[in-house]
Structure formats: structure tokens, C-alpha cells
Structure 1
């Protein structure tokens, strides 16, 4: 039985929520970031102009700017997060070619209560390293921002699919279900 467009979108979002939630609860933050960044790649492509056939840095950054950075309290920008995505996915570190080249700040992740003395010291130290070449990223706030974006994105995508069948055709290629 073939799923409707709405069902495909909902299934993708629910599976993403389930998988990232499991990793988050187990405090497997590095692995959660891999999945979070990969999901943003996919959603960025799905939100890009319908003629775009593959995910790109621009589609990732545009999606982040539109959907994630609206969440209050995040200190990084879309370029920093693209560089962080490249670092995590390619080397599982915080250093990327963009951060090495001075084109993005290196994202330093931390977890726990933001108002704790240790967190505040970490944030201050991170900002002071190399004269501002690093930016702190609270894992919990980043994940909550992602969850908020997952609430809004499905309707935007469904609206795009209703306006232009090319969105829907691409969606059906990208969000394939792998059932046996």
C-alpha cells in the first residue's frame, strides 16, 4: 500500500523524532548530532527549489536559518552549524575546513543546566579561545530547537507539495520507505 504525501512526511518526522530521542535519552550526543545533521540535509533538500536534485551547503544553511535559528538563545549561525555538520559527519570532531580557514566559528558542545557555574565557565572559556573563533552550543537547546522545527516543517513541506508537483515527486524519491 502506497503512503500519501502527508503520511510520508509524518513518518519521516516521527522516525527522526524517535531515533534522535533515543540517542538523546541515552546521552549519545555525538551520534544524535550525526542523525540531526543528516536529517537537516534531507529537510534542506526537500525545502529547496524543486529543481534541486541533491542536498547542498546552501540548502542546509537555508533550512537552518528558516527553521532552527528562530529558537531563542542559540549563539551559532547557519554557517557555524554547516561547519559543525561537516566536522561531525566527516571526522566526528569539532574542527572543519571552514573553521580552519576562519570562515566559521568552531562549535563546542556542552550539556547540562545552562546556569550552572561549570556551564557558565565553559561558555566564557569557549568564547575566549582564539579571540572568538569558537562558539558554545548547548546540546539540549540545539535539540529543542530541532524538535520545534520538526513541528513546523511538515506543514510547510506539504504546502509546497500542494503548490508544485515537482516538490512531491522529489519527496517520494528522498523519503522512500524501506519495508520488507
Structure 2
């Protein structure tokens, strides 16, 4: 079990470091790609022990449990799934779900939430979008993600201690090969 705990801690540390480097370099699109990929992975790691593939449902379940449960972010798990699909497939904000009216497009802004410019962007997004777009502060999403991954790490360690199937799946996902 100690090996699984170290693998989990190292994986989370590496993920957080990579996301931080991208964010600090103002590579926001790439930051989102890595965050969405990490949520996909965490969703699979949190899925029932026998599940072998990530899905929209595992992504959304992880988002509900670890990101949205303790925040006031303005979007839903479905909106975030649609944003993930949009960015990973076309590097835009539009997805099949948003185009079909089943999700709102998340428009992330970078800056101080209470600045006049940010308030103007927020209002314009709501006005122009007519309930099809939702403005969000990117750093709020990043903070919620980081808090969620920290809480998840303890839950994953506990799952690995209770059921070796979690540890086996973790080993497949992390694929740490030490030489």
C-alpha cells in the first residue's frame, strides 16, 4: 500500500506542477487541456473498482464530487463536460452539447474578478450569450480543481487500501516505470 500512496502523491504532484507551469506561462488553453485530461483520469480512478474506461459519466461524477460540491462556480458538470469536449476536439468553446442547447459555453476570463474590465466582460457574456454562455473566472476554476484533487488523493488512497482492484487500475493508469 505504501507504494500506491507514493504513486498517487507523485502523480498528483506532477499533475499540479505541470498545470501550474502552464498557467504561470499564460498558456491558458493548454492549462485547460491538462486539467480536463486530469479530471478524466481522476474520474476513472474514482469509478467503481471494475470499471476500465473513463467516460462522460465518470468525468461529471468527479466534477460534482470534487469541484462543484464545495464551490460557487457558475457552471454545471454538464457545462464543464461540454467545455472539455470543445477544447479537446476543436480548441474552441462550442461543443455538440452547447450547439444542441444541452449545455452552456463556459467563457473563462483571466484577471481580478472585481476589476471594472472583468465586470464588463462578465456582463457582456451574459448579455450577448442570452443564457447560452456562462462567464467564469479561470483562477476560481483552477483553485477548485486543486482543492478537489487534494481531497481526492485521500479518498483514492483509502480506496486502494480497501480494494486491490483500485491499486491495479492505478498501476495501469500511472504506468510508472523505474529504471
What secondary structure sits across from 2:148 in the alignment?
helix
Give CA-to-partner distance per residue, 1:100-152, whole Å, 9 cap, x none. Answer: 01110011110100001111111112122342010112111011111111211
Q: Where does residue 121 of structure 2 map in the other structure?
A: 122
**Number of residue pairs matched?**
178
Aligned equivalent of 2:85? 86
Give 5+ residue unaligned stretches, structure 2: none
Q: CA RMSD in A?
A: 1.3
Deviation at 1:96, TM superposition (A): 0.4
Q: Distance in 1 between matches of 2:72 and 2:125?
A: 16
State which drifts further: 15-24 or 127-136: 127-136
The question of 1:36 aligning with 2:35 is answered yes
Structure 1's consecutive aligned runs of 4 or more residues displaced over 6 angstroms after TM superposition are none
- Counterpart CA distance in 2 for 1:97 and 1:129 is 20
CA deviation digits over 1:40-99, x for unaligned, max 9? 000000000111111100000000000011343310110000000000111110000000
SS of residue paired to 2:168 = helix
Give 1:100's aligned residue. 99
Q: TM (normalized to structure 2)?
A: 0.95
Larger mean Cα displacement after TM superposition, 53-62 or 65-74: 65-74
Kindly indicate whether residue 142 of structure 2 is the aligned counterpart of residue 143 of structure 1.
Answer: yes
